Chain A
Amino acid sequence: MSIHGQKDNAVVVLDHVFTAYEGAEHPTIRDLSLTIKQGEYVIIGGPNGAGKTTLLETINGMLPITHGKATICGMALAGDGVHVRQKVGYLIQNFAFSPLTPFTVRDVVMMGRYGGLGLFTRPGDADYRAAEEAMKSLGVEDMADIPIGQLSGGQQQKVLIAHNLAKNPRVLLLDEPFSNLDLFARERISHLLESLAKKGVTIIIVSHAFDDLPDRPIHILVMKNGTLIHDTTCAPGDVEAQVRKSSA
């Protein structure tokens, strides 16, 4: 047991963390402490502008921590955070690719492996196999040679999830992963995330939609004005009520 009473299997530990965007006068996240354990399924809720996406980018080290301490996958988050990002997948929100983008689905999924390889190392057979498996798990293997810009928004979303799965992340951060997806794709991805959580991958999702949650305890974090106002675990059927109640 250590700070905030977390057990040794904690994969995300934030201890009184402040985060600020470059050039901003005020911190975007203020005095935030939380612990997330391995294999947990976490939903981050809250109103627009509450700091949900900022929290994800703090966890993966893309934003500088101005005060406090963060430990992700056992590594202290310091410097440019590149080592943390090699273990943490992050599906960004709001992307758009031109139809003339010269990258095929296979290219994009393979890029998920690049960070872990480091400079000067070329992808090997294991990397290509991991990319193929990731494409199969999302059902995009038949599109492997199609330029990503020629796919629909939902298909592009699946390709980017496959890109993140290809790196075999210990923590998977997803910003609105179900937007753009049709009913079947949502079900497929929901089942996939549940199976990943069962295998010990920690799933952290920013979402406004609470359908398709797995039948398991859900860890809820509710943000407001850059602070964490609610941190609890409940049944999937109670998530929406919990988020509504605490956001009100």
Chain B
Amino acid sequence: MLEFLIQNNIVCHAVEAMLFASIACSVLAVVITQINISSIGFTMAHAAFAGAAVGIFFSINATLAAILAGLIVAVLLGPLSERAKISPDTALGVMFGMTMAIAIFFIAYMQSLGRGFDASGLMFGDVVSLFREEIYGLAVISIVTILFIIIFYKEITAIIFNQKIAEAAGIRVRPVYYAMLFMIALTVALCINIIGGLLLYVWLVTPAAIAVQFCNSIKQMFIVAPIIGAIVSVSGALTGLEYGLPVSPLTAVLFSILFAAAIILSPRRRISMRKE
């Protein structure tokens, strides 16, 4: 898609993958950080990681298995915390531990069977060995994510503001909330090969955490966060490939440096010294 800009095919594919993954993740990061469900993003990233490991073990498509695992977590999350009378945080903690254990079990078992499975791609991402179909999948998910936000903008923003007030206003909170979880699960599963299960969390939180330092409205955040995500991710991909550095970890570090700078420079944290 971007061959007209970048001649080298490997670099071009890596940049495309990082661009689309970062747009989808950064848009959802606004939702995740503003509803304070960062733990959900974290758990889903690990569920997708576990799903992919299970998929590889049973020779099923890893991406499909990751999507399925993410969806199972999304479906179980609400009822588990509601019906089991435990806090969502505890439910997430249990699920996180379980998914991580499943992932490690299958990875270790495959290695003990001598199946020569290298889990580093799943854990830390791999931007250079992607199939073209995976990049198309990422392009589609980034477009679908943006359309989802546009179509349900008023419901999503009301839920982000305050779920109880949204419900009292007559908004159908529950179906939209579960649709948001579904979108997060789908995006996480599709991005796991590029960014990695252990680092995906950075993409699902930090772009929005940076954007909120400079934005007064949620609309601005939905525009600024993906721009930040895309610029940092593409810069990370180009720099990593140019100097032979691991792309995902490098980009995650860049995000963190930018976040520290944003905190220092944030006009929303500045104390005015004006007398008038």
Task: State the A residues within 8 Å of B (CB).
Answer: 22-23, 60, 62, 80, 82-83, 85-87, 89-90, 92, 95, 97, 99-104, 107-108, 111-112, 114-117, 119-120, 122-123, 145, 147, 160, 163, 167
The reply to whether A102 and B164 form a contact with Cβ atoms under 8 Å apart is no
Binds A, one of B12-20, B132-140, B167-175, B230-238: B167-175
Q: Which residues of A contact B220 (CB under 8 A)?
A: 102
Q: Among A83, A92, A117, A122, which residue has its beta carbon within 8 angstroms of that of B165?
A: A92
Q: Which residues of A contact B58 (CB under 8 A)?
A: none
The reply to whether A102 and B151 form a contact with Cβ atoms under 8 Å apart is no
User: How many residues from B make CB contacts under 8 Å with A?
Assistant: 30
Q: Is the interface of A mostly helix, strand, loop or mixed?
A: loop
A-B CB contact pairs (8 Å), 25 listed: A23-B85, A62-B168, A80-B174, A82-B170, A82-B172, A89-B168, A92-B164, A99-B268, A100-B212, A100-B268, A102-B34, A102-B218, A103-B157, A103-B161, A111-B154, A111-B158, A111-B166, A111-B169, A114-B166, A114-B169, A115-B169, A115-B170, A147-B216, A147-B217, A163-B165
Q: Among B82, B152, B154, B165, which residue has its beta carbon within 8 angstroms of that of A123?
A: B154
Known contacts A22-B82, A102-B221, A104-B216; is-contact A119 B168 (Cβ 8 Å):
no
Known contacts A112-B169, A115-B169; is-contact A102 B162 (Cβ 8 Å):
no
The reply to whether B170 and A95 form a contact with Cβ atoms under 8 Å apart is no
Q: Among A104, A116, A160, A167, which residue has its beta carbon within 8 angstroms of that of B217?
A: A104
Bound-complex Cα distance A102 to B158 (A)? 12
Bound-complex Cα distance A18 to B97 (A)? 40
Known contacts A95-B162, A102-B217, A119-B152; is-contact A163 B169 (Cβ 8 Å):
yes
The reply to whether A117 and B161 form a contact with Cβ atoms under 8 Å apart is no
Nearest chain A CB to B216's CB is how many angstroms away? Answer: 5
Q: Is the interface of B mostly helix, strand, loop or mixed?
A: helix
For the complex of A and B, the 4 pairs showing the least CB-CB separation, nearest first, are A115-B170, A86-B170, A85-B170, A90-B168
Is B126 an interface position by the 8 A CB rule? no
Bound-complex Cα distance A103 to B34 (A)? 11
| 4 other A-B residue contacts (CB within 8 Å) besides A89-B168, A102-B216, A111-B169 | A85-B167, A102-B220, A114-B154, A114-B170
